[in-house]
Amino acid sequence: MILQVQEVHKRFGGLQALTDVNFDITAGEIMGLIGPNGAGKTTLFNVINGVYPPTKGQVVFRGEKITGLPAYEVARRGLARAHQVVRPLNDLTVRENVMVGACFGREHLSLGKAARKADDALAQVGLADRANQLAGNLNVAQKKRLELARALAANPYLLLLDEVLAGLTPSEIVGMMETLRKIRDEGFTILMIEHVMQAVMSISDRIIVLDYGQLIARGAPEEVASNPQVIEAYLGDPDMTARLMAE
């Protein structure tokens, strides 16, 4: 297992954000993380990659307990994250933005090597022709790909993707999904939060579902989509399964 989340709890004062969350990820798979707004998905990401320490429980990454390590130490161990709200360094070029990921990632590359790594990552996400453009001039879809390239340049073993499809048009979603499949085929493991249900159901090998900070379901997409507890908590429509699995 590349990642094991063991009995994780997270409390903020009187708010119990996560309760006894347990799951694991196998190397090479895409796992989807879904749930209603406020279910604790981003909090779980923050616990995994070191933004918050858990109140209780353990996070084990590649056999090592990383619980409570700061985010930069977690990144150095090979866990990278692409955020939902993309904030590129607008006055730097696209290449320079991606170099940041290479310099502070698992390999801690020098500037020269980071530039070459950045070019490789930009090619992976289809932005090679934008390398010398200022990042602030990219459109939304391109900025999403830039965020993904920056995470890839860190050469991670595991990618945490927080709503990389949010704000994209249907055709852009199709293109991004093709990119994610290629990335997985190149050996990366992916844990992704996503609200575009047809997309996450079609691309994920397995799915886990959070509701009010608790893991209420896990399994193959078709199992999760037909789970009565998931339908009640999130999908809200008994006919949703057929629509989700039709594409």
Instruction: Pick left, alpha or beta for residue 212 (phi over 0 → left; psi -120 to 50 → alpha; otherwise beta).
Output: left
Same domain, 15 and 60: yes
Pick the last residue of a domain from 114, 138, 156: 156
pLDDT averaged per 10 residues, the chain (length 247): 98 97 97 93 97 97 96 96 93 97 93 97 97 97 97 97 93 95 95 92 96 96 91 63 46
**Residue 197 has what pLDDT?**
87
Number of domain units in the chain = 2
Same domain, 46 and 5: yes
Same domain, 109 and 132: yes
Residue 54 covered by a domain: yes
Same domain, 72 and 95: no
**Residue 50 has what pLDDT?**
97
Q: Which two tokens stand for residue 45?
A: 């990401």
Sorted by sequence, the CB contacts under 8 Å of residue 59 that are 6+ apart come out as 3, 4, 5, 6, 8, 47, 48, 65, 66, 67
Euclidean distance between CA atoms 75 and 91, whole angstroms = 24
Pick the last residue of a domain from 96, 131, 156: 156
- In DSSP notation, 117-134 reads HHHHHHHHHT-GGGTTSB
Sign of CA dihedral 75, 139, 122, 247: positive
Q: Which residue range forms the structural domain that includes residue 27?
A: 1-78+159-165+189-247
Euclidean distance between CA atoms 171 and 238, whole angstroms = 27
Euclidean distance between CA atoms 22 and 215, whole angstroms = 7
Same domain, 99 and 67: no
Sorted by sequence, the CB contacts under 8 Å of residue 6 that are 6+ apart come out as 22, 57, 58, 59, 60
Pick the last residue of a domain from 137, 156, 175: 156
Same domain, 150 and 138: yes
In three-state form (DSSP H/G/I as H, E/B as E, the rest C), the secondary structure along 83-108 is CCCCCCCCCCEHHHHHHHHHHCCCCC
Same domain, 195 and 206: yes
186-208 CB burial, b ≥16 within 10 A, e <16? eebbbbbbbbbbebbbbbbebbb
Could you give the C-alpha distances from 70 to 54, 154, 204, in angstroms and in order? 12, 16, 29
**Residue 63 has what pLDDT?**
97
pTM over 0.85: yes
Residue 171 covered by a domain: no
CATH number at residue 5: 3.40.50.300
**Residue 232 has what pLDDT?**
83
Q: Which two tokens stand for residue 124?
A: 């992976």
Element (H, E) at 206: strand 206-211
Nearest to 130 by CA among 166, 152, 98, 156: 98
**Residue 198 has what pLDDT?**
86
**Residue 235 has what pLDDT?**
58
Cβ atoms of 107 and 186 closer than 8 Å: no
Same domain, 69 and 112: no
Residue 47 covered by a domain: yes
Same domain, 107 and 37: no
Same domain, 5 and 67: yes
Residue 138 covered by a domain: yes
